[in-house]
Structure 1
Amino acid sequence: AGSDEACFDDYTTLQWQAFDAMSSQIRAAFPYAIDRHILNSAGIERFTQWQCERVRLGIGLYGISPVNQQALMQVASFKTQILQLHHYAKGESIGYSRKAYLERDSVVATIPVGYADGFLRRNKGGEVLVNGRRARLLGNICMDACMVDVTDIPDVKEGDAVVLFGDSLSISQVAERLDTIPYEILTSVSQRVKRVYFHE
């Protein structure tokens, strides 16, 4: 229940002891071997002595570690492209309810991803990557789109790549900014978002 946090190690040890005692009795009652598993992704890293015959690699399968992110490589990314570019004057408002007012003359990109795609409205004011550079989201996240300040992105054009999470903007970073966990970011991506799978 708390294998990812050292403050719960005493409780985790009690859980292991209870599991080991109970599962040992069950195994002794059968004439054949029974595999056991108790560790999740964090437990696999932190409690190698309890790995038994099996482990449960959950979020670690996606290259996300609740313990040591540097040890794994994130395998999932959420990408789109710039749909439209518009030039706005300083002081103009952007988006529904006029939630963002421009502090300078700006180039604003519309990207075709919104909360119906699982790009949470809490991302308001966050960042995406445009051509590998960080760019700030403007105004509210709409159902099917959102706006990005690309004023400082050189040679930006419609069709340019936008990363909502990926190599240089990790799921863990997005989750931390939104005060949530990587699981929510991953599982929020809706079914209407096209999945592309790569195999080596």
Structure 2
Amino acid sequence: MFVYHGTTKNDASLIECNGFNNYQDKILEATRMVNDLGYGVYTYCDDDDSLWNPKENAERYARAYRNKRSNKFCVLQISIEDSPEITYLDFDAPENLAKMEKIRKSLMYRARQLLESLKDSGAKRRNNIDGVLIELAFHGRTLKDVDYVIKKTFTDFNHGEISNFPNGRELVIRNTTTIKKIHAV
């Protein structure tokens, strides 16, 4: 299975040579804001309806967020394992949406406390507490940790837009040992 990650050309070179760091269990020592779907390597993947091109979304992300003042961005194609042993958490599945609503109700007070202790960043300014809730649920074993988290999402490629309708499907690689190959495209 192929997924796509948008970044700078410099970071892409480093990633191709050294791979990604493993992000599991960062919530315990984290001082920066977690992203919307928890810690991990954020990528775009195919969706079941072929509505969005994942490579184009990774490029749009890199242009919008990793391309400060130049055209020095890059898209990495990442080959990941897709076998019966691989575990997914698909937040588009109705049973997982219901589980997330229960998690929100039970962990919101703790998540808000944790949010206050994190350093200011673009992610924190968006005030999206979902990633904090997800990490607390993984840490407290309310959710079983998985290799990948997947969800249809809306990415603000134009700085300032918000929408209730997704414009891509993201796959977050929580277990970087499932990565088989990385190369620039």
TM-score range, shorter chain: under 0.3
Bigger-Rg structure (1/2) = 1
With a CA cutoff of 8 Å and minimum separation of 6, indicate the structure with the bigger relative contact order: 2
TM-score (norm 1): 0.20
